[in-house]
Structures are given as C-alpha cells and as structure tokens.
Amino acid sequence: MGAVVGTLTMQTRQRQPSRDKVDDELEMTMVCHRPEGLEQLEAQTNFTKQELQVLYRGFKNECPSGVVNEETFKHIYAQFFPHGDASTYAHYLFNAFDTRNNGSIKFEDFVMGLSTLLRGTVREKLEWTFYLYDINRDGFINKEEMTEIVRAIYDMMGKYTYPALKGDVPKQHVDAFFVKMDKNKDGVVTLEEFVIACQEDENMMRSMQLFENVM
C-alpha cells in the first residue's frame, strides 16, 4: 500500500506545471487512507476519472479518515430514510460493501459496489443483491435470511411510506417471494433461481427494492 501511495503522490508532483486543482486536493487530503490510483479504479469500474474524482471528494467530505466504519455508514444512510429505521438494512448493506470483511469500507470498496449497482449489467446487479441477501454467505438464500432482509427494508421505509403495514413481520410477503423464487422447492434459493425469478417478474424486482432503494 505504501508503495502505491508513494507512486501516486510522486506522479501528482511531477505533473506540477499543469497540475489541476483536483489533483492538488487529492494529495492534500491523503492523510489516513489513500486510494489506489484513480486510473486503476477507472479501469476496474464503470466510472470515468472525472466521476471518480467527484465521488472521492464526496467520500472524503463525509469520511475524512478515508475509511467508513459501520457506525458512520449507518449514520449517513439514516439521513436518506428519515421516516424509518434504516439501521438493520444499513448493517447488511455495509457487510455487502465490506468485501474484505474487516469492518471498514475503503473508497475503492465503496466505488466498486456503487459501480455495480449503478452501472452494472442486470446480471451483475442481481449477483450483488443476491450476495447482500445471503447473509451467512453460504451461497443460498434461506427463508430466515429473506425474512430478515424484507423486515429490514420495511423498517427502513417506515410507516409513512408503507401505511398499510402495521409493524408485523411481513411473513406473507416473504412466503410469496419464496414460492416464486424457490423453483425446485428445496427450501433455499440459489443464485440462478434468484436471477430467473427477478428477471421474469418486474414487479417483484421493484417491490424488493432491488435497484431504486438499495443505495
């Protein structure tokens, strides 16, 4: 990591005469954690370098240390759902972004996830969402996991968004999802079952908040 940082900083310095403001800021703010080269991220994601720079500035603004822990993530996320309790959903979302599974999200992790969710193919988005739902990461979504996630989504949306829901565990909803998804009725949903079910039922995708509200 240190070598990468050194290289990036040196590259920035060498560009001195034509050095633009963003590079300047980037170097100045690299205090605790420095992102790998933006060129590398540009190659790994579906964002342009300009977009990455904007994202990076936003990220640094919210998280000056350069990494987000779960508490900070929940705090930021809660602002988007003032009428509900987003903490449980944010917890699962955090774990899905935290691909290194070390309790913190670096800018690279954040941007990789965002790239999939915003610019990925339908298949990539569904794979990412499946990973989010597969809480214990055993490759299957079981009914308990789906109940957990659906409940978390309902909590997050809050009673103002879903006035018809009265705080009960949305069991009916989960059962309906499960019957549709578990094609071979073996009690678990595989990635393939998940992808097929989502693609053949647009309503289900929407009601599961796959795209609009996942981020």
Site for Ca ion in 194-213 (CB under 5 A): none
CA 177 from chain centre, in angstroms, equals 22
Using CA atoms, how far apart are residues 200 and 203, in angstroms rounded to an integer? 9
For residues 138 and 200, which CB has a smaller minimum distance to Ca ion in the complex?
A: 138
**CA torsion, points 28, 34, 37, 43, in degrees to nearest 10?**
-130
Burial class (CB in 10 A: 0-12, 13-18, 19+), 187: exposed
Chain positions 165 to 184 lying near Ca ion, rule: CB under 5 A, are: 182, 184
Residue type, 199: Q
State in angstroms the smallest separation of the CB of 187 from Ca ion. 7
Residues in binding contact with Ca ion, number by CB under 5 A: 7
Residue 142 DSSP code: E
Q: Which of residues 8-47 bind Ca ion (CB under 5 A)?
A: none
With CB under 5 A as the contact rule, the residue among 144, 186, 192, 200 that binds Ca ion is: 186
- Shortest Cβ distance from residue 88 to Ca ion (Å)? 17
Q: Which of 56, 130 has the CB closer to Ca ion?
A: 130
Tell me whether residue 24 or residue 186 sits nearer to Ca ion (CB atom). 186
Quote the least distance from Cβ 145 to Ca ion, whole Å: 5
* Residues 112-151 as x/- pattern, contact with Ca ion by CB under 5 A: ----------------------x-x-x-x-----------
Nearer to Ca ion (CB atom), residue 172 or residue 184:
184
Rounded to whole angstroms, the maximal C-alpha distance in the chain is: 65
**Cα angle at 148 between 142 and 151, to 5 degrees?**
135
d(CA 86, CA 155): 6
Nearest distance from residue 127's CB to Ca ion, in Å?
14
Cβ proximity to Ca ion: between 56 and 177 the closer is 177
Distance CA 88, CA 176 (A): 22
- Kindly state whether residue 192 participates in binding Ca ion, applying the rule CB under 5 A: no
Q: How far is the CB of 141 from Ca ion (least distance, A)?
A: 6
Q: Residue for token digits 């009916």?
A: 172
* CA–CA dist 60, 99 (Å, integer): 20
The residues of the shown chain that bind Ca ion, judged by CB under 5 A, are 134, 136, 138, 140, 182, 184, 186
